[in-house]
Copies of this chain bind each other. A is one copy, B any other.
Amino acid sequence: MPSKITSHMSAIPDQPSVISVLGACSMLNPLTETEMQLLGEQSFMAYAERGEMIWLAGSPSHIVAVVGSGFVKMTRSTPQGSEVAIELLGPGQCLGLVVAIEGREYPLSAIAVTHSWYLKIPARALMEIYNSNPNLRDHIVRSLGPRLRKAHDMMARMSTGKVEQRIAAVLLILADSYGEALTDGTRIAVPLTRQDLAEMAGTTVETSIRVMSRFQKDGVVSTDKQVITIRDTAALSESLLA
């Protein structure tokens, strides 16, 4: 339970129920009613405020988490020390599942990008179900495909091209996953700092600021309270080709 509810911080969003989060998790769709119930009894909600670490890369994977509300980024630090954001996860998405099945340490750190509620499922509880439910396995295989593909996609984009193109790519991908259609554009419904953006594009804060300033001056995007809105998707897509 979050103890410090002080006036200064934005109000803590309502705590979702265990059942509702389990039900909203696409990965756990194929579970039977009783399996859901069993899992729910052993799991519990947790809260992380903005910037808080949920787990650190290298620690043992005792927990599988499901995002209830808010957004979580998975990061990895390079040998040189800088952080690279690998994935951004929203409500209903699952963290640390594959690695828990393999029984090894978390390869990525999980950090809350916004104030977030998430469900902590003991890895052992999930493994019991995994071992007896072939449908769950099929589901996992199928959900891993897109993830792998997205990773390859990012690899291709990151390892080549100029920073402006990489940032444009990141914005478009984010819009694809978390965008809300507006009359005059697409709003990426996650508050992201320039730093977050830089980590995702594999660059520095300064450069991401510069590029975003340029985009804003050109009317391609706009930012309001760290929420980015794409005003001209076509122009942004074109800047990929430059």
Interface on A for B, CB 8 Å cutoff? Answer: 76-80, 82, 84, 86, 98-99, 101-102, 104, 107-108, 134, 137-138, 140-142, 144-149, 151-161, 165-166, 201-202, 240-241
Contacts and interface: CB of A to CB of B under 8 A. Distances in A.
A29 B219 CA distance: 56
A144 B154 CA distance: 18
Given A78-B157, A104-B145, 18 more contacts: A76-B152, A79-B161, A80-B160, A80-B241, A84-B156, A86-B152, A98-B145, A98-B148, A107-B152, A134-B134, A137-B137, A140-B141, A148-B151, A155-B155, A158-B158, A158-B159, A159-B166, A160-B202
B144 A201 contact: no
A155 B78 contact: no
A200 to B, nearest CB: 9
Main secondary structure of the interface of A (DSSP, over half): helix
Copies of this chain: 2
Contacts of A137: 134, 137-138, 140-141
A166 B155 CA distance: 13
Given A98-B148, A148-B148, A151-B151, A78 B141 contact: no
B142 A101 contact: yes
B147 A148 contact: yes
Given A84-B156, A98-B141, A141-B98, A79 B240 contact: yes
A166 B158 CA distance: 12
A98 B155 contact: no
A101 B102 CA distance: 21
Given A98-B144, A107-B152, A84 B240 contact: no
A220 B44 CA distance: 53
A165 to B, nearest CB: 8
Contacts of A151: 148, 151-152, 155
5 contacts: A80-B241, A98-B148, A101-B145, A108-B152, A158-B158
Contacts of A202: 158-160
A99 to B, nearest CB: 6
Contacts of A161: 78-80
A145 B78 contact: no
A98 to B, nearest CB: 5
Nearest to A237: B79
